[in-house]
């Protein structure tokens, strides 16, 4: 066994893809082990929230947003994905001390595995959006080609954020509770059940720097408005994703030497 703090030999690039795919599948299987409903839980949560929000904001508050259940899904699914992926990425290193100490693999892969494993749940939940698109008879246009790009930028952002918080969580175990609190506040800062038009004009430009809100707005542009996301919105998503990836990588590299002491 390598002594604590010693640099482990680099894993061959040809093996990295295999290791990541195996860890992603393992994480997915473990999450639903011993659950009678299995992956149906990935659909039950958004369906319940959509039903509740639709009732409250169409029957009580009388929202005039068309296709309201679909509108909610376009916000709720990105939000759910972000909160779950960020939280699991945050705890990915601290919950796998054996992989950090005994397996010769880049430790930075652990937050990546957590993010990628949550994309499986994302693909399952995206079927709900496609089902409602078909139900309402909404046309599928070429603007859907934007979706892989904007979702890819979100993955980069979450990975960078996860690198930072996962390394901080090894040293300070309160970090996960900070993440949970931020996720709770974030629910109100993303246009999930209300329209972006309700945001005061002086705050809209700053609002778009919120990567989750930007992703929701871009998704709504494509699916509900049949148009491409505004270039400035995509530019902001790219800028924030790049900054967080670089910052997260720097923080992770600085704290990685302390992992053996705290794990």
pLDDT at 21: 84
Coarse DSSP helix, strand, coil percentages of the chain, rounded to the nearest 5 percent: 75, 0, 25
pLDDT digits (tens, 9 = 90+) for 132-158: 999 999 999 999 999 999 999 999 999
Task: Answer whether residue 17 is part of any domain.
Answer: no
pLDDT digits (tens, 9 = 90+) for 13-61: 557 777 788 888 777 777 766 655 666 777 888 899 999 999 999 999 9
Task: Answer whether residue 26 is part of any domain.
Answer: no
Closest CA to 159 of 240, 98, 97, 224: 240
Task: Answer whether residue 8 is part of any domain.
Answer: no
pLDDT at 34: 61
pLDDT digits (tens, 9 = 90+) for 98-116: 888 887 788 999 999 999 9
Task: Answer whether residue 7 is part of any domain.
Answer: no
Tell me the residue range of the domain where 121 lies: 37-262
Structural domain total, the chain: 1
The whole model's pTM is what?
0.90
pLDDT at 6: 45
Helical packing angle, 109-136 and 41-55, nearest 10°: 50
54: tokens are 């639709």
Compute the distance between CA of residue 135 and CA of residue 122 in angstroms, rounded to an integer: 20
Average pLDDT over residues 227-244: 96
């Amino acid at each position: 066994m390598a002594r604590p703090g010693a640099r482990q030999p680099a894993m061959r690039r040809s093996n990295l893809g295999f290791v990541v795919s195996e860890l992603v599948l393992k994480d997915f299987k473990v999450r639903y082990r011993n659950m009678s409903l299995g992956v149906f839980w990935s659909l039950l949560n958004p369906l319940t929230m959509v039903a509740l929000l639709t009732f409250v904001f169409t029957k009580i508050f009388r929202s005039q947003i068309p296709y309201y259940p679909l509108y909610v899904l376009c916000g709720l699914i990105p939000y759910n994905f972000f909160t779950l992926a960020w939280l699991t990425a945050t705890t990915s290193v601290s919950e796998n001390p054996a992989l950090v100490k005994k397996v010769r693999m880049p430790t930075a892969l652990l937050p990546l595995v957590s993010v990628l494993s949550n994309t499986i749940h994302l693909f399952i939940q995206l079927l709900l959006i496609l089902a409602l698109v078909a139900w309402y008879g909404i046309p599928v246009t070429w603007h859907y080609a934007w979706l892989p790009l904007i979702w890819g930028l979100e993955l980069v952002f979450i990975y960078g954020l996860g690198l930072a918080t996962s390394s901080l969580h090894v040293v300070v175990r309160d970090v996960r509770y900070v993440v949970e609190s931020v996720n709770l506040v974030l629910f109100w800062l993303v246009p999930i059940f209300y329209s972006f038009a309700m945001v005061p004009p002086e705050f809209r430009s700053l609002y778009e720097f919120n990567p989750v809100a930007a992703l929701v707005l871009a998704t709504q542009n494509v699916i509900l408005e049949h148009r491409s996301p505004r270039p400035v919105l995509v530019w902001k998503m790219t800028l924030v994703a790049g900054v967080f990836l670089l910052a997260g990588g720097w923080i992770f590299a600085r704290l990685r030497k302390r992992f053996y002491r705290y794990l």
